[in-house]
Amino acid sequence: MASIFLSLFKEKDSLIYTLPLTVICLLIKYISVKNTKTHMLYALSLVCVIIADVLIFSNFKTNFIYITLLNGLFLLCNLAVLKRYLHEQKIKKILTPSVLISVALVAYVFFYVLRLLIETLPNNQVFFAFCTMSFFAAFFIVIALIYLSQLYQNGLILLIAGISYFFQMFFSLINEFLHYDKIFTTLIVISHIVALFLLTEFISVTKPTDTQISID
């Protein structure tokens, strides 16, 4: 709540302390629940977010390359964790025309955002932005497949986490490169917190081996 309040009534650099602290609390909560080696990848991803948040609110444009690298590492770690929730046979069943159309729409949005980046970023930053956007596309597709497979009762919170992360990225680009507004900053903060909280909740309580529903 403190981060949301500051985003509304203070300058965004005041978030450099409160927002990373929020993520640190999520990290502590996660470690207290999960301590296996496999899931430490998710803990590492949260550390990347903490560092990225500090860089974002100190100077987004100056630190853009480092921010994209950290976000890329966050996405790669999460891809490694989430792939365990996929079921190959179930994926084949859900690849229907409607799903493929949805994937095409996601791809369209992806290339639209990428074109926006190409038009606004220096050439040396475009490559890093492209890599991060590619990782995000893979991240979102994996989340969508997990949700559509209907193997997990709380799959909806994972989908909401993915959508929230998308809004965070989209509003961040608008706020930093097109039109700055405190409302956008507030939306970014809310999306950021919701995405991380729900993602942490899903990974903390959902086990691939004992929450699967029968697919017979």
The answer as to whether 215 is a domain residue is no
The answer as to whether 213 is a domain residue is no
* Percent of all residues in the chain with a pLDDT value above 90, rounded to a whole number: 29
Residue 35's pLDDT is 55
The answer as to whether 210 is a domain residue is no
The answer as to whether 183 is a domain residue is yes
The answer as to whether 211 is a domain residue is no
- Angle, nearest 10°, between helix axes 155-173 and 182-205? 150
Nearest one of 172, 183, 192 to 63, comparing CA atoms: 172
Q: What is the pLDDT confidence band of residue 112, given thresholds at 50, 70 and 90?
A: confident
The answer as to whether 214 is a domain residue is no
**Average pLDDT of span 175-197:** 86
Q: What is the pLDDT confidence band of residue 38, given thresholds at 50, 70 and 90?
A: low
The answer as to whether 108 is a domain residue is yes
Residue 48's pLDDT is 95
Residue 92's pLDDT is 60
Residue 119's pLDDT is 78
Structural domain for 114, as ranges: 2-205
Predicted model pTM: 0.83
Q: How many domains does the chain have?
A: 1
Number of Cβ within 10 Å of residue 101's Cβ equals 10
Q: Phi then psi for 152, rounded to 5 degrees?
A: -125, 130
